Amino acid sequence: MKTLGIGLLGFGTVGTGVVLGLQKNQALLENRTGLKLELRRVADLDLERDRGVSLPEGVLTRDAAAVVASPEVDIVVELIGGRNAARDLITQALQRGKPVVTANKALLAEHGAELFALAAEKGADIFFEASVGAGIPLIRALREGLVSNQIRSIYGILNGTCNYILTRMEQKGLSFATALKEAQKAGYTEADPALDIDGIDTAHKAVILASLAYGFNVPMRSVAVEGIQGLDALDLRYAAELGYRIKMLAVIEQENGEVAVRVCPTLVPVAHILASVSGEFNAVLIKGDEVGDVLCYGKGAGRDPTASAVLSDVVDAARNLVFHAARRAPGFVGYNAQGKLKAVGESDVRYYLRLTLLDKPGVFGQIATILGQHDIGLASVLQKEKSAGRQVPVVIITHHGKEKEFQAALDELDKLPVIGARTVRFRIEDF
């Protein structure tokens, strides 16, 4: 049986999952692939920590560059995360023509173009199934299973931490801080959890999906991003009363050849399938012109689900090496030189607005007039409390309007003397 050597860079949570997965399912992997996958080197700065898994003598080292260079290592698995060291090491591996498996969404979102170009030049593969949706075989679905489709839109719950926090706040009434602590303890969060709760991690994943779907490099700076920090449990309750759940959603849409990507907490109708995705689970709804709707669902964060995706890539890399079929499945191909981004503010949207409004005659008229001047109609209005002469929360569900008109209307509204606090707003997605 042919044996291939694996060099693992990063022995943290996911790295440990990869080692455990290789050990646990070694026989199964051999039976299914006809190959022996041997972990020959593991690099990490921490040589002492007990990870609950043992490595053969001499495998663990601090010298990641030596792992990449080792003639015993055929496939490099990068699970260090972060940008600089990971980028250097992946570059070194590709320079040597070695295939790379990575879960590093931040690196691919920001430097993917350069790394994929180098891989193409060197005839080497970059596999990145674990970068989006962890355990869900989503990259393969988009790149291979749906290759004959024009992708109309993608709606994704792509961050396990955000989804976990929102679920725990809604279902158990936990505070944001407590729910975040639980997510950290469970190993869902990034090393810096701000990346999760500020929406950056979701945006990284969204640009990878958008670039794959539309064939040009969609840059991070083009994504409108809002996080869930500061989200008030009040809005989760009001949204529920109105028949919605708040989900951290990535929306990737193409209209008239222009692509728009946004990431924000969004009201999803309770009856829609994405509303029932809870905890650390992710789900991605892809709309293709031939296939119609496809839903991919599974654990989007955590040690073992992420390791499952990494190991699927290791197998692909190994088989490509053995069959001399490197680049059989393209990493990312920039085939669409005409690819365009939609101008900011031009999307058609509708909103949930929570105004803090003085409860006195005539104020609704002022609000409706300003919204009307920006061509925004009201679908429903709900005054949540009655307290004449005082400020009360008022929830408005709007009809569709132009994003930039909403922005201008809200700027005007918040200057009115009858408004007591900045208006809270969430987009509503009708799919």
Cite the active site residues.
205
Structure-block tokens of residue 237: 């309750």
Q: Min. distance of Cβ 14 from ligand HSE in angstroms?
A: 9
State yes or no: residue 301 binds ligand HSE (CB under 6 A): yes
Part of the chain binding ligand HSE (CB under 6 A), chosen from 169-177, 187-195, 246-254, 356-364: 187-195
Among 196, 198, 226, 313, binds ligand HSE (CB under 6 A): 196
Query: Residue holding tokens 């706040």?
Result: 169
Largest CA distance in the chain: 83
Report the chain's terminal Cα–Cα distance, integer Å. 50
Distant-in-sequence contacts of 24-32, Cβ < 8 A, 24+ apart:
25/311, 29/311, 29/315, 30/1, 32/315
Per the rule left: phi > 0, alpha: psi between -120 and 50, beta: everything else, 169 is alpha
Half-sphere exposure at residue 412, Cβ-oriented, CA atoms within 13 angstroms:
15
Q: Figure out which of the listed residues 128, 155, 188, 238 binds ligand HSE, where binding follows CB under 6 A.
A: 188
The verdict on 217 binding ligand HSE (CB under 6 A) reads no
CB distance 226 to 350 below 8 Å: no
DSSP tag of 394: E
Length of the chain counted residue by residue: 431
Q: Which of 266, 277, 262 is nearest to 244 (CA)?
A: 266
Confirm or reject binding of residue 78 to ligand HSE (CB under 6 A).
no
139 binding ligand HSE? (CB under 6 A) = no
Residues 6+ apart with CB under 8 A from 56: none
Contact between 198 and ligand HSE by CB under 6 A: the answer reads no
75 vs 301 by CB, closer to ligand HSE: 301
Binding mask 87-126 for ligand HSE (x = CB under 6 A): ----------------------------------------
Does 159 interact with ligand HSE (rule: CB under 6 A)?
yes
Q: What share of the chain is helix, strand, coil (3-state, %, to 5)?
A: 40, 25, 35
- Return the number of the residue (33 or 211) whose C-beta is nearest ligand HSE: 211
Does residue 129 bind ligand HSE (CB under 6 A)? no
10 Å CB burial of residue 337 (0-12, 13-18, 19+) is exposed
Residue among 74, 170, 201, 304 that touches ligand HSE (CB under 6 A): 201
Q: Is 316 in the site for ligand HSE (CB under 6 A)?
A: no
Q: In the numeric block, which tokens belong to residue 100?
A: 């790379």
Stretch that binds ligand HSE, among 183-191, 220-228, 376-384, 397-405 (CB under 6 A): 183-191
Among 104, 153, 189, 308, the residue binding ligand HSE under the rule CB under 6 A is: 189
Write out the E strands in 72-144.
Answer: 75-78, 100-102, 126-127
For 128, the token pair is 């990145």
* # of chain residues touching ligand HSE (CB under 6 A): 11
Number of Cβ within 10 Å of residue 373's Cβ equals: 12
Residue from 160, 265, 279, 401 binding ligand HSE (CB under 6 A): 160
Contact segment (CB under 6 A) with ligand HSE among 84-92, 157-165, 249-257, 327-335 equals 157-165
Nearest distance in Å: CB 160, ligand HSE:
4
Tell me the closest approach of the beta carbon of residue 301 to ligand HSE, in angstroms.
4
Interface with ligand HSE (CB under 6 A), residue from 161, 217, 254, 308: 161
Select from 1-9, 88-96, 185-193, 379-387 the region that touches ligand HSE (CB under 6 A): 185-193
Backbone angles phi and psi of 244, in degrees to 5 = -130, 160
Residues of this chain that interact with ligand HSE (CB under 6 A) are: 134, 159-161, 188-190, 196, 201, 300-301
